[in-house]
Structure 1
Amino acid sequence: MEATVDKIDLKKEDSGYYSAKKNPEIRDLDSYYYLSISGRCDPQANQFLKAIDKLYSVAYSVKFICQAEDMDFVMPKMEGFWWVDGGLEAQHKFAQTPPDEWNWKIVIRMPDFVEGDHFYRAIQKVKAKNPELLSNDEVKFELINEGLSVQGLHIGSYYEEEPTIAKIMEFIQDNGLQVAGYHHEIYLSDPRKTPEEKLKTILRYAVKKVNNE
């Protein structure tokens, strides 16, 4: 009988990354590797949904390659970075910007044992199985380091995050910090199975200390 391979579950292995309280709090995060895909459109648009399909196709291909090497893992939660044109100074205008002008980067964090070679082989497998799915190098394998961050747990619709964001921004200002990264969401709930009012999403912002000199 073959031995059962233990699956790495990042939600359990690194619970601090995947948990948050309603009241804002500070976290100091390490660097992590992610699969990512970027674009610009309304999140209700077909382009966005196709991008998610592409990302998960590569993610599961990586998983199956690792599984064959006795390094299996539970698929991590999907995450997203969101911003509008104009740099960090313009991010307060996000709610007033039409959704079709939103920029996004959707990511899935990978376990530490996933390497560039796993990613390269996964891409080749996906292209061989469905050449039209990945027409170019849309999906990437990249290192992201947010470092010092402030986060809070939002419960409810993705389109009703303003009160939670306001609390986070007030906390950032009160603690002598300023935003140093784009709006980051970690989707703890599956919107296909969870009522909108019960959706749980971690809202996170990379920050830095204000230079008063």
Structure 2
Amino acid sequence: MEKYDVKRAHKDLYSPPSDDFTEVDVPEFRYLAVDGSGDPNISSAYAEAVEALYSVAYTVKFVSKQNLERDAVVGPLEGLWWADDMSTFVTRDKQAWKWTMMINQPPWITHDMIDSAKSVAAAKKDLPGLPKLYSTTWTEGKCVQILHIGAYDDEGPILERLHHSVIPERGLTFDGKHHEIYLSDPRRTAPEKLKTILRQPVAVA
């Protein structure tokens, strides 16, 4: 049984270079998602959201493999980040941040399958973040992105370059929420070796 892996199926979207921003066109994907706010390092809501996402993602994987004979690698954790004052991403004022944490789903996974997986996950374990989890489809469209290697708190200079150089110099404007894709497991990876895709939806100015 061949495993679907979104990182292989859409290699151009999940393996950008680290030396410069590249432009990509992101098609429609289905996601598991949970919304929240606050500093992800200390927010219980953030930890609960991530736990619920992975619990349902692995349940969906198991059900798909068992019932449909279609297997998939669970996608990386992804996050949409925004704030009333977007400069807080450069200053790293995390308490002001709002977020939607997500996990990409294979193209054959349906909303009903996700609802069923939520029920199965709820029966196995108390998951405080589960009631907030929902299924959504989303087309991001034209984006610029780069691979950041290093600690999350070292993203500031790259984002400042994006905001003040890359976007205006290319005749673009912001057209959506800041998007991060976490390719590394922070529990098993040294901060200086973490790999994170930094993506920003854009439009022609």
TM-score scaled by structure 2? 0.92
Root-mean-square deviation over aligned CA pairs: 1.6
CA contact (8 A) 2:36 2:98 kept: yes
Residue 97 of structure 1 deviates from its aligned partner by 6.3
Q: Deviations over 1:137-159 (max 9, x none)?
A: 31111011110001111111101
Alignment of 1:1-213 (within 5 A): 5-22=1-18, 23-45=20-42, 46-68=44-66, 69-85=68-84, 90-96=85-91, 98-130=93-125, 132-134=126-128, 137-169=131-163, 170-210=165-205
Show structure 1 runs of 5+ residues with no match. none
Distance of 1:194 and 1:136 partners within structure 2: 27
Query: What secondary structure sits across from 1:191 in the alignment?
Result: coil
Q: Which of the pair is proportionally richer in strand?
A: 2
Query: Is the alpha carbon distance of 1:120 and 1:138 closer, same or farther for their aligned partners in structure 2, counting shifts above 3 Å?
Result: same
TM-score scaled by structure 1? 0.89
Distance of 1:56 and 1:116 partners within structure 2: 16
Query: What secondary structure sits across from 1:61 in the alignment?
Result: helix
Show structure 2 runs of 5+ residues with no match. none
Query: Is the alpha carbon distance of 1:24 and 1:44 closer, same or farther for their aligned partners in structure 2, counting shifts above 3 Å?
Result: same
Residue 95 of structure 1 deviates from its aligned partner by 3.7
Distance of 1:207 and 1:105 partners within structure 2: 19
Distance of 1:48 and 1:133 partners within structure 2: 12
More displaced stretch, 37-46 vs 199-208:
37-46
Q: Deviations over 1:148-195 (max 9, x none)?
A: 001111111101102221332312211110011111101111111211
Residue 200 of structure 1 deviates from its aligned partner by 1.0
Distance of 2:175 and 2:166 partners within structure 1: 14
Sequence identity percentage = 36
CA contact (8 A) 1:157 1:199 kept: yes
Residue 111 of structure 1 deviates from its aligned partner by 0.8
